[in-house]
Structure 1
Amino acid sequence: MSRWGLTIPLTGVPLTAHRELVEQLPDLGYTDAWTAETAGADAFTPLVLASQWAPQLRLGTAIVPVYTRGPGLLAMQAATVAELAPGRFVLGIGASSPVIVSNWNAASFDAPFARSRDTLRFLRTALAGEKVSEEYETFAVSKFRLERPVDPPPSIMLAALRPGMLRLASREADGAITNWLAASDVPQVRSVIGPDVELAARIFVCPTEDAEVARGLGRMLISSYLTVPVYAAFHEWLGRGEALAPMHEAWAAGDRQKANQVIPDSVVDELVIHGSVESCREQVRSYVDNGLTTPIIALLPAGGDPFEQVRGLAPR
């Protein structure tokens, strides 16, 4: 049985106003609530609230950057949420991007694969309650031990796009979290991590039957995200290099408007679900049919009541 997740908080909805909806999620069929961390709410605070509003939900971060907190602080925050949601918290970590890490948080975006691997290994030991004194490749920790270890320790999942990171997630983490892929891409990702590893993905859903509105929003998101080098390489691996080449050329030339315009409709329709609520729900289900374990719906604002849209997107 697949899980069914929702990204919180919803765009434009105050954090405290989510209580009514979050309390309803388990009865609607949602199993998970996940957060993200860019420049809005941090990844942990919404989950603290959700842990008290809906104790049945599994809670996860997708993702927390490995650079923007020290290793010890990251372990402390994870242990705190795990204490509030015993056995129901998943710590999703990942490299993030140079914009978030360097431009916004004044940290060096160096050796992302090694930093992710080292942070994963540190967290495994620290969240088990052990004292950590270790010289990792990308950082060192001396005599750190959590004052409030949790039992059981939280699961740890790794943000992964291409084979190297996907194999690391399969080998050393409790699963992989991916992003910006089509339902038809899931088998390719699944073939790398194997059949028995949890695979989660944030899926962008724009519940409107006005295709041009949905595609306009989708194009802005795609040009913002898929021009980031790691996502560009991901889609090259998935086979969209040629389709996205005009976008990359326009973006590199500084023509943001043209970069949006030259993204093919077919690519937008693959990566951003739109249509009626019923159609959107079935398109999310197609990811599960193709091998995704945990779809995480990210609701895009397209007019209408977002709470009603979330209710309509619940699994049937």
Structure 2
Amino acid sequence: MRRWGLTIPLSGLPLTAHRELVERLPDLGYTDAWTSETAGADGFSPLLLAAQWAPRLRLGTAIVPVYTRGPGLLAMSAATLADVAPGGFVLGIGASSPVIVSNWNAAEFARPFARTRDTLRFLRSALAGEKVTAEYETFSVEKFRLERVPDPAPAIMLAALRPGMLALAAREADGAITNWLAAGDVPKVRAALGPDIELVARIFVCPTEDREAARAIGRLMISSYLTVPVYAAFHDWLGRGELLAPMRRAWAEGARKAANAAIPDEVVDDLVVHGSPAECREKIQAYVDNGLDTPVIALAGQIDDPVRLVTALAPG
């Protein structure tokens, strides 16, 4: 099945004002709606609404952190969504980042690979209705059992940027979720993941033919994200470290404008899709042609007419 996803909610549009847009998505050719969780809407609430407005959509979190909810609460949140959208919900979990986990949520960002692995294993048991008493490496649980067990249990995917987490996703999860990669990077990620497991990627899309405006938006986003250690390591692995080194140095020195200016045009053009809607669709399709299963559009920049843009970016 050909998949084509959209990130919700859209910036600047109240949650309740999304109804008309979300209802139209399946008829436009969209198969999926995915959320994120940083400092805006939480990862679950927009999907509860979308489940009522467009039951044909597959719904997913990309991603909710494994640190900011206790294991039991995370299982309850996932079970609630799976109950509302039976067979149509994907729980995407991941380590997130020290800023979100520690600076904003007062939790310790420690041993991210182990914590993600342990949470995945706990969730497999809990969402199957088992009573869980277990000593994991990073936490312990005693006599937890869901009162409302979802049927079927939701698929679980892992946020994965590098070979270790991609291999864990291939061994124990139902898919891998990544972002901040170019179409040309997909074969390397796919090779590390393997051929037989779903690969989802959020793709940042700025649908404008004003190239310089799109690049300005892209530079602000890239300097904010790719200076985070996990993303810096990801792009070192992808072979982009040397190109991004001047940005990183300027950022570390507190020179934000210089950091933005140091990002080469070729990096912005690789990582942020821009152009006319038709050009954007072609560039998104290039990710699929290179081995991506599920592209998830994330609109970037000022969105004056979201319904028009989402319609224009539909797969056709």
**Which TM-score band (shorter chain)?**
over 0.9
Counterpart AA for 1:89: F
Work out whether 1:95 is the aligned partner of 2:109: no
Partner residue, 1:34 = 34
Q: Tell me, in whole angstroms, the C-alpha distance in 1 between the residues paired with 2:133 and 2:71.
A: 12
Work out whether 1:50 is the aligned partner of 2:50: yes
Query: Identity across aligned pairs (percent)?
Result: 76
Q: Secondary structure of 2:72's match?
A: helix
Counterpart AA for 1:181: L
- 1:66–1:115 Cα contact (<8 Å) kept: yes
**How far off is 1:304 after superposition?**
3.7
Listed one character per residue, the Cα deviations across residues 184-206 of structure 1 (whole Å, up to 9, x for unaligned) are: 00000000111111000000000
Partner residue, 2:115 = 115
Partner residue, 1:69 = 69
Within 5 A, what are the aligned runs for 1:155-304? 155-304=155-304
- 2:11–2:303 Cα contact (<8 Å) kept: no
Counterpart AA for 1:37: E
Go from structure 1 to structure 2 and tell me whether the alpha carbon gap of 1:303 and 1:60 turns closer, same or farther (over 3 Å shift).
closer
**How far off is 1:264 after superposition?**
0.1
- 1:2–1:288 Cα contact (<8 Å) kept: no
- 1:215–1:265 Cα contact (<8 Å) kept: yes
Q: Tell me, in whole angstroms, the C-alpha distance in 2 between the residues paired with 1:302 and 1:86.
A: 35
Q: What is the root-mean-square deviation in Å for CA atoms of aligned residues?
A: 0.6
Q: Secondary structure of 2:202's match?
A: strand
Q: Tell me, in whole angstroms, the C-alpha distance in 2 between the residues paired with 1:71 and 1:308.
A: 40
Q: Secondary structure of 1:9's match?
A: coil
- 1:214–1:302 Cα contact (<8 Å) kept: no
Counterpart AA for 2:179: N
- 1:3–1:294 Cα contact (<8 Å) kept: yes
**How far off is 1:300 after superposition?**
1.0
Q: Secondary structure of 1:181's match?
A: coil
Work out whether 1:152 is the aligned partner of 2:127: no
Q: Secondary structure of 2:247's match?
A: helix
Moved segments of 4+, more than 6 Å: none
Q: Tell me, in whole angstroms, the C-alpha distance in 2 between the residues paired with 1:259 and 1:297.
A: 26
**How far off is 1:168 after superposition?**
0.2
- 1:207–1:302 Cα contact (<8 Å) kept: no
Partner residue, 1:124 = 124
**How far off is 1:303 after superposition?**
4.8
- 1:208–1:302 Cα contact (<8 Å) kept: no
Q: Tell me, in whole angstroms, the C-alpha distance in 1 between the residues paired with 2:220 and 2:306.
A: 21
Counterpart AA for 1:203: I
Work out whether 1:18 is the aligned partner of 2:28: no
Counterpart AA for 2:173: A
Q: Secondary structure of 2:93's match?
A: strand
Q: Tell me, in whole angstroms, the C-alpha distance in 1 between the residues paired with 2:241 and 2:40.
A: 30
Counterpart AA for 2:88: R
**How far off is 1:2 after superposition?**
2.5
- 1:6–1:296 Cα contact (<8 Å) kept: yes
**How far off is 1:307 after superposition?**
1.2
Gaps of 5+ in 1: none
Gaps of 5+ in 2: none
Partner residue, 1:139 = 139
**How far off is 1:230 after superposition?**
0.4
**How far off is 1:105 after superposition?**
0.1
- 1:205–1:280 Cα contact (<8 Å) kept: yes
Q: Tell me, in whole angstroms, the C-alpha distance in 1 between the residues paired with 2:303 and 2:284.
A: 20
Q: Tell me, in whole angstroms, the C-alpha distance in 1 between the residues paired with 2:302 and 2:186.
A: 26
- 2:160–2:169 Cα contact (<8 Å) kept: yes
- 2:4–2:296 Cα contact (<8 Å) kept: yes
**How far off is 1:306 after superposition?**
1.5
Q: Secondary structure of 1:187's match?
A: helix
Listed one character per residue, the Cα deviations across residues 47-86 of structure 1 (whole Å, up to 9, x for unaligned) are: 0000000000000000000000000000000000000000
**How far off is 1:305 after superposition?**
1.0
